[in-house]
Structures are given as C-alpha cells and as structure tokens.
Chains A and B, each alone.
Chain A
Amino acid sequence: MRSLIRQRFHAPSRLHSGVVAGAARKRSNLSITASKRESLSEWYTQCLVKAEILDYTDISGCYILRPAGMAIWNQLQEYLRAQLHKRGVQDAYFPLLISQAALEREQAHLAGFSPEVAWVTKAGHADLSAPLAIRPTSETAMYPAYSRWIRSWRDLPLRLNQWCSVVRWEFRNPTPLIRSREFLWQEGHSAFATAQEADLEACDILCLYQRTYEQMLAVAVIPGVKSEGERFAGASTTLTVEAFIPEAGRAIQGATAHVLGQNFSRIFDIRFETADGGQDWAWQSSWGFTTRALGVALMQHGDDRGAVLAPPVAQTQVVIIPIGCTKHDPSQGPVEEGHDPARVGEAPSVAPGQIVAYSHDLAGRLRDAGIRCVVDASEQHSTGWKFNQWELRGVPLRIEVGPREISSGHLTTVRRLDGRRDRVHDQGGKLISKVREGLDHIHRDMLARSRDRLVAHQKKCSTWTELVDIVEGEGSMALIPWCEQMVCEMGVGDRGRTMLGEGGGKIKCLCIPLEGQEPLSPGTKCAVCGERPARRMALFGRSF
C-alpha cells in the first residue's frame, strides 16, 4: 500500500498541474499556504481544492464540482427556479449538439463564438459526415423551434429556460469557475410581441441577478449596460452586473441579460400574426447566470484561512464542535485546545459522553428549525484541527460545546467572517432565533463589507492619465465621462499599458452604470479620447 500511495502522489501526472503538491499534502498539511493579497491565483486554487469545493481533472479547463460546491449551486438554482417560475418562465431542454448549418445562420453571433466552439467530428470509429458543435450557448439550437411554435400573438410571450452545461474552448489560461471550458448555467430565452416587453424583461431579470448576488452570495454588484464593443454577439443591448475583486484590482462580469431585438427573429423567421391581422417578427431577449457566480463569491469573501461562505448558500451553516472528547493521538502532535487562548486550561468536569449527547440534541433542534447543521464529534482529530478544518471549509458559524458551556448553559458561538465570539444562552426557543439572527447578521455584514469595498474602489476622474493611475496604480475602477463611440473604445486597448505579473489584462469599459448617472455639464469631453463630447459616465477598469 505504501508504494501504491507513493505512486499515486509522485507519478508524473497532468492531473491538477500546479495543485498536485497541495493535494498530496491533504492529510498532513490542510491549511492554505498562499496569501490572498500576495498571490491571489495560487491562494484561490488552494482555497477551492482544500475546502473541497472543486477538484481538477486530467482535462485542462474542466473541473469537478464537489458536493460542497454543488450544494451552493443547488441553492442558487432553487432560488432562481422559484423566482423564474413566479414570472411564468417554463423549463425545457434543448440538445447539446448544434448542426453547423444552424450555428452559422447568424453571422455576428457565429463570429463571436466560432473560435471557441468544440466540434464533434467522430462517433465510434467513423467520421461524422458533418461536424456537430457542442453548444456554447443555445440561441441557434432553440430559435428554429421557436419559429415553428410561434404562429400568432396568442402564442406569445414564449419564455423558456434551461439548466445545462455549455462548452467554450478558450485558449486563455483557465481559472476554475471563473473561466472554465465547460460550465453550468441557466439560459432563458424569451419571445414577445412588443419591443417594450422584451426590454422590461431584460431589466427585470438583471434585477433578479443583482438580488441573487446580494441576497444569496452577499456580493455587491454594479448594474450597468455593456458598451458596444463588449456586447453579446448578436444582441442590441447587453445588461450586466459587475463585481469587483480588490485583491486583483479587477472587476468581473457577474451575469448578463441581453435584449436581442428582432435580430435573431428575422434570421430564424420567428414571425407571428399580430392581433390586428398583420405580420411581425418577435422581439427577443436572452439571459444567463453561471457557476462563475460561485467563483466570484469565493474570491470575494475568502481569506488566508480558507473559504468564507454566505449563510444562504452554505451546505453547512452551523458546525457544532464538542470540546474535550478527542482521544489524544500522539501521531498528531501535541494536543491543542484550539488556537484560541480563551479555551486553554479549561477543566473537564463534565463527561465527554454528555457533551456529545448534548451536541447532537442541539443539532437536531437546529435542523428542525431548518438550519443546516453538523456535529463534528470525530475522535481522531484534535479540537484545534477541527476548528481549522471547518474554517477552511468556510462554515459561517461554529458553536463550541464544552464543560463550561454545559455547566453554565451559555454556548459559545464563533463567526467565520471575523472570528467574533458571542455567548448565547440555551434556554427555551431563544437559541434557535439567536442562531438564525446570527446567520442573518453574518450575511448582512458580509454584504456591507463587499459593498464598502466596491464603493471604495470606484473613483471619478476626467482624464486618461488619471484613469491609468486609478486603474493600474491603485487597482481601482475609474468612473469617467465617455463618448461611447466604438472607435474610441477600440483605441482603449492599444493605449492601456498592461501590468506585469498576475494576469495582466487590458483596461476596458466594464459598463455604463444604470445608477447614479447625472446629466453631464455642457461641453464635457470624453476622458478617453479627449475629443468627442461625453454622453454618460462609464466605468473603466481591468477585468477577469
């Protein structure tokens, strides 16, 4: 067996390159060795792998979503499902494979996606007579059917959604969850009789995405409109929510909703008879929310001790750790009663069995109240090891149950977010409501912190030189008056210096924020080109 293990760890493997050392240390060294501030990407991958949220496979850019990660996605799905259902959106499923002919029908769309389409060309041992694309998005798979199904205004609106995986074979350096070659998402595709309905829906869905980030993941975002250069291939308007990662000095697109106008409906002939007997093409929108959101949240909240999960999405919201029930195992080094000096020297005057029984009873009560809760009463690890382990996994709240707690009836709770300790009296139903309140407060504090950081990293300026200083010097986003001209936008990439080191990335327009726009004073010039008159304030920065 020894040799087997050695072989497993030392065999040259393309498996999780770069993280292999981390995985190999799984048993001996659990904690994260990289600093979030100093080497973000190393910290990020260690955090994901060691918190068992995700793992690597032998195909670059494809990752395993482990139960702790999948649980977050399932919570997001459940929330969005209920919200979409309420809006009358129905679920369906369209095929994974798209014929070349269908994919090529919309030229702008094709140009946007063709460099990263994965093609199936062989089945078994035979070549297919025509290659089939694996969906990068499903407009071209769905709209031929929409054309058949929609005949009259009575068939509208048609609003379908699907939960599936899509493939975009990018050649840029993949980053788990943030930029992977396969990812999970929902994609909604609607057709309406009027332009106004399509516009309203896109706005409504964008609000829903903003709420999902804020209420579920505790991540503050900026809603905005994408510039022409950043718009979805084939859309007339793309709306976006943008998050910001201060440690990277970069923004990240959170989710998008597109107004497609009649662009696709004309090409796919999605035509209907109007109420007055005329003919028109349907007005469409499409919108998607992806597993990238998990990456954004983890990168946003995590710290050098590991993941920090927002309570609404955490697989485990509360971990109960009975203190003083661990058998001393010399192979694990000296016994440490937690890294917390408050617990050192505590006299065990209560039987360990009683502590464990109490912990399980407490867990039962919390579960009955709908709080996702586990007890870690394992005997093979020290209490300190358990604290570290559950902190690494990002469980929002820890409840410590030791002799002192049992005899006093006051439990100790510790918040993952900031390590704050509280004493809670276990009396009647009070504990349940205290824990629930505690989780709500954690969420509120996480969101407030995220919002503060987002606001602090937006700075107004009016010249290109200032913009570069803000973005590249301070690692913030710059809010500037902008002309919104394509020719100006095309010039940005050439002008922006790229930073050395991690990632780099060019300066670009992140979005034109929907909120906080005020009329510009007459004669305001575009801060980018310095020539054309500015139209609105736009947010510029580097992006993932």
Chain B
Amino acid sequence: MTSATSSNTDRATSKVAVTGSAMKETKLGIGAQKEDDFPTWYTQVLLRSEMMDYYDVSGCYILRPWCFKIWKQIQAFLGERFESIDVEDAYFPLFISQSALQKEKDHVEGFAPEVAWVTRSGGTDLPEPIAVRPTSETVMYPAYAKWIQSHRDLPLKMNQWCNVVRWEFKHPQPFLRSREFLWQEGHTCFNTKMEADQEVLQVLEFYRQTYEDLLAVPVIKGMKSENEKFAGALYTTTVEGFIPAVGRGIQGATSHCLGQNFSKMFKIAVEGKDGEPEYAWQNSWGFTTRSIGVMVMTHSDNNGLVLPPRVASVQVVIVPVGITAKTGAEEEERIYAKCNELVEQLAAAGIRTKADLRDNVTPGWKFNQWELKGVPVRLEIGPKELTSGQVRACIRFSSEKRQLSLEGINSAAKALLDEIHEGMFAKAKAARDASMRVVERWDDFTPALDAKCMVLAPWCQSGACEDAIKEKSAHKAVDGAAADARAPAMGAKTLCIPFEQPAKAEGKSCVQCGASAKTYCLFGRSY
C-alpha cells in the first residue's frame, strides 16, 4: 500500500499517525513534550488537533477543515490587501513545458533537482516530459511577453492562489517542508525600477502584517544574502521567524525584485523612445501554508494547539458545566438554552462561537479536547451562572481564568480576543527577543547558536565568508539525519540582513574573516 517513494523516516512517523488516530477515543493528550522532543510534539499537536493527517505519498499531507479555515482567513486578509494595490487574480496551468522551464538558466538550476516530471498519460509515453510547476515564473512570462506591447500595458499585476510541487529529498515536515504546498504567487511588471522597488517592500509589509497582526507571530524584515536569494532574482526581501524551543530561524515569506533578468530572457518589453526595447522591471512574491506551521510551533504548548484568535475557526467555545444526577431536568434545559442563546448572541456580534452540548462525554473531556484544538476562549455555564449573571472565561494561551459579566458580553468578548492576540504576540516576541544575541567575536558565535539563539553580527557580505561560517559553526561529530530532527547541529546560515540594524557596522570587522563589515547580519540555524 505505501508507495515505495516513502522514505523510511516518514513511514515511521506515519505509523505514529495511525496509532494516534487509533487512540482517538481513548487518549486525547499530547504524549511528547515541546521541550524534550520537539519534532514528535509538533506532529502530535497537528494530528490530534485534527489540523492535518498523513497520506500514503511521503511528504504530502491532508489539510483538514480545522486547518483549512485558517488558510482561508489568511487568503481573505491578503486578498483584500492585494486588491488595494490593484493586483488581479488569474490562473495559469499546473504544467510547464521543458523549454519554457529551461529559459532562465539560474532559475532552472535552482529548481531542477526538485522538479516533478509527468512522462506518461494513461499507458502512453508523452513525446516530451512536462514539469509540474515548482513556481510559475516560466509559465507566466511567455504570456506576459505577448500581452505587454506598450507602456500603457504596464503595470501588469497578477496573483494566483494554487498548489506547487517541489520534490525535496530532505526529511519532510508537515507545513514546513512538504512536497506539495499551497500558496499565492504574485507576479508584477513595471515601467521603472523605482515602482518595482516600492512594490517589493509594500508586499513585504503585507506579509509582516499577516504574521504579526493575524497569526501573532513576530518576524524580522530584511534582505537575503547573495547566496540565499531566489534563483534568478536581483534581490530577495524576507520576513524571518524564529522558533525558540529549537533555536532555529525559519523563512516566513519572500518578496523578490527580479530586475530585468527574466524580462530579457522572455522578451517582456515595450518600444522605447529611440526604438530600442525597454525591458519591464519585475517582481514576484509568495506566501505559503508554511506560515501555518510557524504559527503552530510558535504558540502551541504541551496541552496541544494554541490558536491566535483572529484566525481560529472557533474563537469561543461554550461548555455547560455542573450538571449532576441531582440537577433537575428543567434546570438542565435552562442551562442548555442559555448556552444556545449565548452562541447566537456572540455570533450576531461576529464572534465565531460554538456550544458543545454533547451528552456522551464529560465537561472535563470537552475541556481537554477544546484545549487540544486550541480554541482561544472557553466559557463555562452552569447552575450558578444562571443566577449570578456571570460566566467563567478560561483563556487558552495563558490558562488564566476570569469572570465575565453576561451584560455587555459581546464587547467584553471582543476586547478579550484582542487582548489575547496582543498577549500572544507579546509573549512570542519576548521569547524571540531573548534569543537574539549581538556577537562581535567569532569565539562567541557558535556558543550563542548552541544556546538556541540567533546571532546578529557584523559581516563582510562575501559569499565565501558565508560558506566558511556555515562550515565552522556546524558540529560535525553528530550524525546528520538525527541532527536535523533533534538537536540542530548544522551550520548557521544567514537568515537576513535586517532592515533595522542594531548599530552602525561602519568601522567594525566581520565576525568571521575580520574584513571590514558592511552591515550587521542575522545568522542562525534554520529550517
């Protein structure tokens, strides 16, 4: 049954998955601890909260409704912003011809090792293999060349929401490194470089907003190094996240200025004043389902998922409590009625609310389950609440409990959700900031990494130096595969050159090679 493409490692995790769902009825909790065994904890959280499930093709995962609703919130949030800058939605084919894919040399070199190829349909071999898109530059730009004829055809701004396939052979991880993922990819063309430069940053700001204002995940904006920039780009900007529990950085989303590199290859040009072709200035930018993985890793705990309120598909769950054998039928009815009434009231105020009125499980079991699923607020209603005019609110991320007055509960609940968002963001930011060290001497570099920190260090920006840093900061004694999953011992990469610098780098020496430093750069072990 399992296709032979599955790697052994994934098959092992797949077994965990099956056991996990077999335990569904009996055991809800997370067995692994975030601090001790992060990878197992992560997959348990995702499986048991019903965010995703495994699949019999290694590196491909099922996004279940609990997760997909989060993606839809992200789509709506970003969609509105793209519309505000006149980006239009379109859809380009899943398939790319070999000749189109190979048109831009750097680009094809970057992607070739992980392109999936269709070579057969039914029982017949295709005359020429066809690539499944790893990204759509090469399928879109031949069309752009056709459509763009005059200055008036610019700017051209298109976006598509779709799936892409990158057949990575490294250890797959749900959301973070999967062979198929969902994303949006924006591809724009301008008359001038200045317009392109501005848009790159505008979109990067949208991505920051999505992470920080929607997912409550702090990110750092910056520029990718030459080595780390997108294959074929002029420059790449990025928002970088960080997972303190494992001390690893993670690329959140990227916005690229492609310059005229692709437009020259694909002949996307308009006629200039002197009759010479003027090539378009291009950008491309993408935001993927990886963000959901970053969100889960950032906020969740040993009781399961913790969802930031703005994306949670259920923001408030109402659980009836205190109903015992002694409770009269009439009182029980009134409690249930109160729960339903409250659902309607909160829902009318735009709060996504659900009452859990199941009679086959205990309130305690329900508490655990909704905690596991990460619902931001639980309201408890029992006999006491019927008379007191108050409800008990339990806050998922802080485990704090409060009394809320039923009078004015709509605005109180709204305020509480905002407060939770701010609280989650502040908590995550404090943890991230505590893991950032400014280092100026090489001797402090690897110890900082080993202390699960990112390093901000003066750097010369040379590619050779970057390679040397990676090499020297790795622990070679540890076996590679194990290292990837457990204690990271790989070398440090440049995460980005932050736009916001800690100090002037002028006059400082590069942390590794001692040459004159150009900027501070953020280094870290990373996903």
Residues of A that sit less than 8 Å from B by CB: 1-2, 4-5, 7-8, 15, 23, 26-27, 55, 57-59, 62-67, 69-71, 73-74, 90-102, 114-125, 128-132, 134, 141, 144-145, 148-149, 151, 154, 160, 164-165, 167, 169, 182, 184, 380
Contacts and interface: CB of A to CB of B under 8 A. Distances in A.
Contacts of B100: 58
Contacts of B327: none
A93 B146 contact: no
Residue from A74, A91, A118 whose CB has the most chain B CB atoms within 10 Å: A118
B350 interface: no
B93 A148 contact: no
Given A70-B91, A164-B163, A91 B360 contact: no
A122 B117 contact: yes
B68 A93 contact: yes
B25 A95 contact: no
Given A4-B277, A100-B3, A129-B5, A59 B97 contact: yes
Interface in B157-210: 158, 162-163, 165, 167, 169, 179-180, 182
B180 to A, nearest CB: 5
A230 to B, nearest CB: 21
A123 B116 contact: yes
Contact of A92 (B64, B93, B119): B64
A98 B57 contact: yes
B90 A65 contact: yes
Contact of B117 (A98, A123, A151, A169): A123
B327 to A, nearest CB: 24
Contacts of B97: 58-59
Contacts of B269: 1, 4
Contacts of B129: 122
Nearest to A101: B1
B115 A123 contact: yes
Nearest to B360: A154
B240 to A, nearest CB: 26
Interface stretch (B137-145, B298-306, B315-323, B497-505): B137-145
A95 B310 CA distance: 27
15 contacts: A1-B271, A58-B142, A62-B94, A64-B92, A65-B91, A67-B158, A90-B68, A99-B56, A119-B118, A120-B132, A121-B120, A124-B167, A148-B53, A182-B94, A184-B91
A130 B272 CA distance: 52
Given A91-B68, A184-B91, A1 B57 contact: no
A148 B63 contact: no
B361 to A, nearest CB: 10
Contacts of A129: 3-5
A272 to B, nearest CB: 13
A281 B272 CA distance: 69
A132 B3 contact: yes
Nearest to B165: A96
Among A94, A114, A125, A164: residue with most chain B CB under 10 A: A94
A102 B56 CA distance: 8
Interface of B: 1-5, 18, 21, 24-25, 53, 55-57, 60-65, 68-69, 71-72, 88-97, 99-100, 112-123, 129-130, 132, 139, 142-143, 145-147, 149, 152, 158, 162-163, 165, 167, 169, 179-180, 182, 267, 269, 271-272, 275-277, 360
Contact of B275 (A2, A8, A64): A2
Contact of B95 (A132, A151, A182): A182
Given A66-B90, A165-B91, 6 more contacts: A4-B277, A96-B60, A96-B165, A114-B123, A121-B119, A134-B132
Contacts of A66: 90
Given A101-B3, A118-B118, A144 B68 contact: no
Nearest to B71: A93
Contacts of B146: 8, 15, 23, 55
B376 to A, nearest CB: 20
Contacts of B96: 59
A167 B113 CA distance: 24
The 4 lowest CB-CB distance pairs between A and B, nearest first, are A123-B167, A169-B121, A67-B88, A62-B93
A51 B471 CA distance: 56
Residue of A15, A69, A117, A119 contacting most chain B CB atoms (<10 Å): A119
Kindly name the residue among A92, A130, A151, A164 whose own CB sees the greatest number of chain B CB atoms within 10 A. Answer: A92
Nearest to A99: B3
Contact of B57 (A23, A99, A124, A154): A99
Contacts of A184: 91
Contacts, number: 196
A151 B22 CA distance: 10
Given A58-B142, A62-B93, A182-B95, A95 B60 contact: yes
B321 to A, nearest CB: 21
B192 to A, nearest CB: 18
Nearest to B129: A122
Nearest to B269: A4
Contacts of A101: 1-3, 56
Contact of B277 (A1, A64, A144): A1
Contacts of B72: 91
A175 to B, nearest CB: 16
A73 to B, nearest CB: 8
B130 A95 contact: no
A92 B115 contact: no
**In this complex, which of A66, A93, A99 has the most chain B Cβ atoms within 10 angstroms of its Cβ?**
A93
Contacts of A119: 118-121
A124 B120 contact: no
A441 to B, nearest CB: 29
B24 A64 contact: no
Contacts of B117: 120-123
Contacts of A132: 3, 5, 57
A26 B169 CA distance: 45
Contacts of A99: 1-3, 56-57
A465 B120 CA distance: 43
Contact of B139 (A5, A57, A70, A123): A57
Interface centre among A100, A124, A132, A134 (most CB of B within 10 A): A124
A239 B55 CA distance: 31
B89 A74 contact: yes
A130 B121 contact: no
Contact of B113 (A7, A62, A125): A125
Contacts of A26: 149
B98 to A, nearest CB: 10
Contacts of B276: 1
Contacts of A4: 267, 269, 277
B89 A70 contact: yes
B93 A182 contact: yes
Contacts of A154: 360
The interface centre, meaning the residue of B5, B25, B158, B169 with most chain A CB atoms within 10 A of its CB, is B5
A123 to B, nearest CB: 4
Nearest to A98: B57
A1 B95 CA distance: 30
Nearest to B69: A91
Nearest to A100: B3
A297 B283 CA distance: 35
A131 B90 CA distance: 30
B332 to A, nearest CB: 21
Contacts of B122: 114-117, 169
Nearest to B158: A67
Interface centre among B18, B56, B121, B130 (most CB of A within 10 A): B121
Contact of A59 (B57, B89, B95): B95
B169 to A, nearest CB: 8
Nearest to A158: B65
B93 A59 contact: yes
A280 B64 CA distance: 24
A165 B163 CA distance: 9
Nearest to A169: B121
Contacts of B277: 1, 4
Nearest to A120: B116
A95 B275 contact: no
